[in-house]
Amino acid sequence: MNLAKYKISLLKSIDILRKFDLFKERNTSVENIYDSRKFSSDFFSVSNSNKYLEIYNMAIKNNDYDILLIDDSILQFSLEIRDETIVQYRFAYYQNPRTYPTYNEFLQNEFNVSEKECGSTFLEEYEQIVCEASLNDCALPIRYDYDEKLYDPNFHYVSHIHIGHNNELRIGADRILSPDAFVIFVIRNIYFSIWKNKCQNDGTLLEMCFKIKNTCSEINEDFIKEKELNTILLR
């Protein structure tokens, strides 16, 4: 995958999120920056801590994200280019560690009106609910890494997914995920009810997801060995 295809895949990711009613906004201040330097040093300083809430709060405070979802979970996308070749990808999903309704859900539940009807009239009341929201103990971050520098045959897959925080859970993949493929993985596994409902009502969505998976690039044979292919991998 070259940089042009990467950019197209990012745009497709937003389109997919819109189709599943999960998109809230794009961080336009970093949309033309592709390496990890677009995220603050403060974020990376706390990202190694065992305090997930602190990591999430720092990302929100400093706008350390590319895409904000409807539930205020975030997505990050970055890459590293060396000699005009992409040698590293990092895609991350940080689930909101608090549970609360969207503003529109709040309006429907409390006043039986929509945001279109009343605008920001009840925003202050809603923000109070957000501040008092309970913590979601099951909040789950997901990160995808492709890093040729860290490849260690049979022990550290060049392409892999981390699930959860502060653990060693690393699941190898036999392809290089694209941003839109990563987004589909997140939707399918985190927002399953939404995924199932949308796909049952629109068969083209399911077909679209299958096609995207098949467009993921194969890994160069220098970075995946035959024995690795015989282990349990995401395929």
> Would 60 be classed as within a structural domain?
yes
Total of domains in the chain: 1
The whole-angstrom separation of Cα 30 and Cα 65 is 8
Residue 196: the pLDDT is: 93
Q: What domain range includes position 142?
A: 3-99+134-230
Residue 158: the pLDDT is: 93
> Would 126 be classed as within a structural domain?
no
> Would 118 be classed as within a structural domain?
no
Residue 166: the pLDDT is: 82
| Neighbouring C-alpha atoms within 13 Å toward the C-beta of 109 | 9
For the chain, which ranges sit under pLDDT 70? 232-233, 235
CA angle at 106 for the pair 103 and 186, rounded to the nearest 5° = 60
Amino acid at 148: E
Residue 22: the pLDDT is: 96
Question: Over the stretch 159-211, which tens digit does the pLDDT of each residue have?
Answer: 999 999 888 888 999 899 999 999 999 999 999 999 999 999 998 998 888 88
CA angle at 39 for the pair 22 and 159, rounded to the nearest 5° = 75
> Would 124 be classed as within a structural domain?
no
> Would 173 be classed as within a structural domain?
yes
Nearest to 75 by CA among 23, 40, 21, 35: 23
Strand ranges (DSSP E) for the chain? Answer: 23-26, 67-69, 74-82, 85-94, 142-147, 159-163, 170-172, 175-176, 217-218
Residue 76: the pLDDT is: 97
Name the 3-class secondary structure at 205. Answer: helix
